[in-house]
Structure 1
């Protein structure tokens, strides 16, 4: 079977009305591996009777359940046909009996299914390169042209090496050895990495597709250390001595924790992950406008994204402890996760302080007093002139669907908006299952470091 005879189609579930019949009558299938859509067939009852007469069983593959969720919410299902329009595969669920490999199989078509194109390429490249040694002509691979939905044609597999230039000086610094460019090239060749010496300090490394584990310079340095031999690296005393000290951001965080606790607030520790409605719909916002980091395959609806605010966790904590004596005063000093295209990982952490006051009255004066206390501790004076050169002030010329109109303000420090203080909107309180008003404060404390 040649790759040119294969066609990838997208059909809705109700479009799968003849595949089982064709598999039995044309391909001569003796079993049906997964009959989840058999009732979409024309004359399904008649087909089942025929299968009974021919003793064709539908096997129950419970191990396939883990893959059903990948396509169950899709409007169409991916299906691979051959030139006779016979179904070969319903990725990622099941392969057809028509295309199974036997001891007589000579031509093998390798197809890889994934929800991430990069991961699919990595698996495909490793599969074909490892399988190639068993070909009639060793290491000969036939490529396949794949036509995209937009009409663009891409040839797979792409077996071109990745190229990265490295510094010999940095290699020596990272490992703690002293080798020249020629010796470094020899060490990397031992690890199956092609090299070309550019100059005395630069080596161009060719990374084959079989080395998908190499992502950064540090991975190449590790390979060099392995080839050199860890036992051959001399143990040396560091040329500089220093005294360890607490990370400054953590030091400031601890100081604020103690001070806020002294003001009568109880510290809480909430989950880093939350659901999309927790940061969007419950606050009257659109999730598309929030820089949230989404989890590709969340195991539960409660943990879909990294939190972009500490407030939802504290509101949930109060909702689960409404029998506690009033007022309930909680706070948390922890990180939130925000998208950031300027970072290598595409996101960043931001240390925040959030406090909440829950009582029969909003108690905005309590939260406002806590803000003033925090600013006093970090030595940021109040700016009565509301200028951006120094100090802090509150900007109430803003709108936010999460807060009661006219009862909230932005906290401005040095001209930058670092947070918000105010009374939550009744809709927000209702969405979190609460019955009494709340005042909250949430600020970014990193500018104080």
Structure 2
């Protein structure tokens, strides 16, 4: 939390702040899953403030005249319908003041009684979420954005207290980054003058100085996109103007060619699209919780993840496809999708990358037979005959999952997902998932080609 006093906001300034709020929700807050922001007229409230959990309550949601229950807010308002999946029924979070007045139903909708208007002079800014470091950075952006739109703003800190822990926010620290001139020239491909670099960074909001061959740059607290030297070099490039950086091609040393795994990947994409499947693309990073819930134990965990959703490297495409089903289950009745992507397998003390293709079938009526039909058709188009044998493991029903064999080599698995796994992940529709190793398939194809 933070307080900004002596604000003077026009209707246009308020509109800009709310627009910024939604951009931060989208780009940094995972569409409110990680971070949610609220702005309130402090003079309508009585501190201290508290976060509570209730089974039900009533308040007047933002832009509505009548009071509603929390259940009605989820059902009747646009924001409620869009974000109802982020709260548990009967365990609704509320932000209230010392008199029990509702400020917000995070991350759904603020209160109409505490909204910011042109007559507001003191603003309370609140950020809730599940990623503390990200929350602090987003708070810095909102605090400085409110303050810079007023002539004589005063920023006040707020202490957040819970059993065994307290913290004062905001912390408006500048981010210090050192950049070598040689690194700037190496990345941009142009000679740069130290004084010009310092001047450009100053125009970009930095405090910068040059010490020999090193530029010392300090980014303001609202620049939450600045992490290291590369971000500073990007700002130097923007300051120079991309149009003023003359591109040049390196001298050719050999003829280029597509990597065989990319050739096979593109062919697989074309074949599956031809079968009527939609392609999805997920990150290689995933939450370790999602991996474990999907039945996978051996995978690489990040030592110090910045975001909980990206705390591990996936060792299979299946957990990513399960999350795809979870996100889309309320948007479509049935889904037939595939993904071609890399996974990181743990082998002893080492980790190796493997290219795989995964298939997802979501909806009533899909069975193991449907999954096998797609997999066998794909392999047949590649000139391979598929065999199967019983498989137990992963997220599957034991008697409804199989290994896929090509020339006696196990190249993948297909199966119906266990209902207990679906419930644990919050998925309400039956699923069939599977994946094949394109690396192993390439090996089989090379072996067949060599024997001819």
TM-score (norm. length: structure 2)? 0.54
Contact 1:80 1:87 in 2 (8 A): yes
Deviation sequence 1:317-370 (CA, Å, 0-9, x none): 9xxxxxxxxxxxxxx8x61575899xxxxxx8833388xxx99xx99xx99x97
Q: Which has the larger radius of gyration?
A: 1
Equivalent residues in 2 for 1:324-339, closer than 5 Å: 335-336=340-341
Instruction: Measure, in 1, the Cα distance between the counterparts of 2:85 and 2:244.
Output: 49
Match for residue 94 of structure 1? 110
Equivalent residues in 2 for 1:175-254, closer than 5 Å: 175-197=188-210, 200=213, 202-214=214-226, 217-234=229-246, 236=248, 238-240=250-252, 243-253=255-265
Contact 1:34 1:94 in 2 (8 A): no
Shift of 1:152: 1.9
Instruction: Measure, in 1, the Cα distance between the counterparts of 2:99 and 2:269.
Output: 70
CA 13–247 in structure 1, closer or farther in 2 if over 3 Å, else same: same
Shift of 1:271: 3.0
Deviation sequence 1:67-122 (CA, Å, 0-9, x none): 6515553432232333333334333323252x445666443322245566566444
Match for residue 350 of structure 1? 355
Higher relative contact order, chain-length normalized (CA < 8 Å, sep 6+): 2
Contact 2:147 2:155 in 1 (8 A): yes
Instruction: Measure, in 2, the Cα distance between the counterparts of 1:255 and 1:39.
Output: 49
TM-score (norm. length: structure 1)? 0.54
Question: How many residue pairs were aligned?
Answer: 339
Shift of 1:179: 1.5
> Is 1:11–2:11 an aligned residue pair?
no
Corresponding residue SS for 1:173: helix
Shift of 1:301: 3.8
Unmatched tracts of structure 2, length 5 or more: 1-41, 282-290, 297-313, 347-352, 360-367, 420-427, 444-452
Instruction: Measure, in 1, the Cα distance between the counterparts of 2:401 and 2:70.
Output: 60
Deviation sequence 1:178-231 (CA, Å, 0-9, x none): 01544433322221123354652x434322222234456544323112222334
Contact 1:335 1:349 in 2 (8 A): no
Give me the CA root mean square deviation.
5.8
Contact 2:384 2:406 in 1 (8 A): no
Match for residue 52 of structure 1? none
Higher strand share: 2
Contact 2:138 2:224 in 1 (8 A): no
Contact 2:54 2:94 in 1 (8 A): no
CA 131–401 in structure 1, closer or farther in 2 if over 3 Å, else same: closer
Match for residue 73 of structure 1? 88
Shift of 1:143: 0.7
Instruction: Measure, in 2, the Cα distance between the counterparts of 1:154 and 1:79.
Output: 20
Shift of 1:405: 6.5
Instruction: Measure, in 2, the Cα distance between the counterparts of 1:33 and 1:409.
Output: 59
Corresponding residue SS for 1:443: strand
